[in-house]
Amino acid sequence: MAKGGNSGGGGPGGGSTTLVITEFGEDTGTFASDGITYDNTITLTGTSTEPAGTIVTIYANGVNLGTATVLGSGDWTFTTTALADGIYDFTAQTGKGKTKQVSDPLTLTIDTTVPDAPTDLTATVLRSGQTRLAWTSSTDDVGIAGYRVYRNDVLLATTAGTTYTVKRARGTFSYFVVAFDAAGNVSAPSATVTVTVR
């Protein structure tokens, strides 16, 4: 579960904090707690000091998504339906008028679009015996975070650029590359190239 990182919010009159969104499910992004996921069905969990049975209404960008119920432990959970890609500010609310409590927003980016596969992969054996791999960059709706290089179907390296130099090793090797984006979506593999280093 990824931490929401927000401290909650008070009522309209500046009351004490009683309602907090604490987690939003799996953060699949490149960096921990970066608020990006490729999971478009979001499970929000939170806490409230309201009595058990209190109804918590969940909003995304101001749109009512549904309700959860505060348990005896003070916890509540809500799972959305499948959401479209985009940036969302999730908030939770209890009560109305002077008794209303609203959490701080939890901002989350949903990105389910897979990058295009890298193309034009080449492998050149250098005089040093090293192998220089090069390929044409992939495209993605929000941008490429990096590439993973595989040798004989085993992950060899991760790189941000579109070239990678393999240390000298004798034998016959097959290479392919995949791209990944900030949300953790992974492309189909590039074409495979095979080289022999003597």
pLDDT confidence of 96, banded at 50, 70, 90? Answer: confident
First-to-last C-alpha distance (Å) of the chain? 49
Residue spans per domain, the chain: 19-110, 119-197
Q: What is the dihedral sign for C-alpha 60, 63, 67, 70?
A: positive
Q: What is the pLDDT of residue 14?
A: 40
Q: pLDDT tens across 14-55, in order?
A: 445 489 998 888 778 776 678 899 999 999 999 999 999 999
Tokens of 65: 């998504």
**Domain 119-197 = CATH 2.60.40.10:** yes
Q: Which numeric CATH code is attached to 19-110?
A: 2.60.40.10
Helices (H) and strands (E) in the chain, counts: 0, 16
Query: 61 φ, ψ to 5°?
Result: 55, 40
pLDDT(7) > 60: no
User: Taking the model in full, what pTM does it have?
Assistant: 0.80
Can 19-110 and 119-197 be said to share one CATH topology?
A: yes
More confident residue, 124 or 30: 124
